[in-house]
Amino acid sequence: MKTFGLKASLLLMAILFFTDFLNVEGQVCHPSGKIRGKKPPPGECNQGNDSDCCKEGKLYTTYKCSPTVSSYTKAYLTLNGFEKDEDGGAPSECDNQYHSDDTPVVALSTGWYNKGSRCLNNITITANGRSVVAMVVDECDSTMGCDSDHDYQPPCANNIVDASRAVWKALGVPQDQWGGLDITWTNA
């Protein structure tokens, strides 16, 4: 009887260990650290589209991950300029190009961007009773910020879909309400 109990216990422990090991992707995404804000040099932080500038000494949370992608991934939609001299800063990471804000394009938080694996692929964004297909062209960096490479803006949260004006228009959101909206998205 003791031998059967020991074998069953070992088998159960092995199953639990491997189940936990295989479900790492489904785990909750926790912060990976913090960075200390630096005051931007005069005129170096573009506050277009109500973008924030880093504040001297403030601690900003960083993430290397994003919530698990599902058929209806919950996210927070923000507004970004993808044209030259807009708040998006440099050309898009995926193709080293600027993009018209009249084209539905997005930047995804670092974990969802996944080292560029979603570059130039479409996602479907749903909110406000409507859906729009948008192309992933950039990363909304969740790991770094508050420097010249990031236009002296804080790191993105881990659940951001940073979208062009075209996405907001297609979702039928009144322009005076652009800036932040709970959405769902999925691979198109």
pLDDT tens for each residue of 57-104: 999 999 999 999 999 999 999 998 899 877 656 789 999 999 999 999
pLDDT reported for residue 27 = 56
pLDDT reported for residue 135 = 98
Whole-prediction pTM: 0.80
> Residue 21: in which H helix or E strand, if any?
helix 2-22
pLDDT reported for residue 139 = 95
Torsion of CA 103, 72, 96, 54, to 10 degrees: 100
**Lowest model confidence (mean pLDDT) among 83-92, 120-129, 155-164:** 83-92
If DSSP codes are grouped into helix, strand and coil, which group holds residue 65?
coil
List the end-to-end C-alpha distance of the chain, in Å, as a whole number: 55
pLDDT reported for residue 152 = 84
pLDDT reported for residue 12 = 46
Phi, psi torsion values for 164, nearest 5 degrees: -70, 165
Q: Which amino acid is at 84?
A: K
Q: How confident is the model at residue 150 (pLDDT cuts 50, 70, 90)?
A: confident
pLDDT reported for residue 7 = 61
Phi, psi torsion values for 59, nearest 5 degrees: -90, 130
Range 90-105 burial, b when 16+ CB lie within 10 A, else e = eebbbeeebbebeebb
For the cut 90, the answer to whether the pLDDT of residue 1 exceeds it is no
Q: Which of 95, 96, 75, 42 is nearest to 142 (CA)?
A: 75
Widest pairwise Cα distance in the chain: 77
pLDDT reported for residue 127 = 97
pLDDT reported for residue 30 = 94
For 10-59, the pLDDT digits (tens) are 554 544 444 333 333 445 899 999 999 988 888 777 676 667 888 999 99
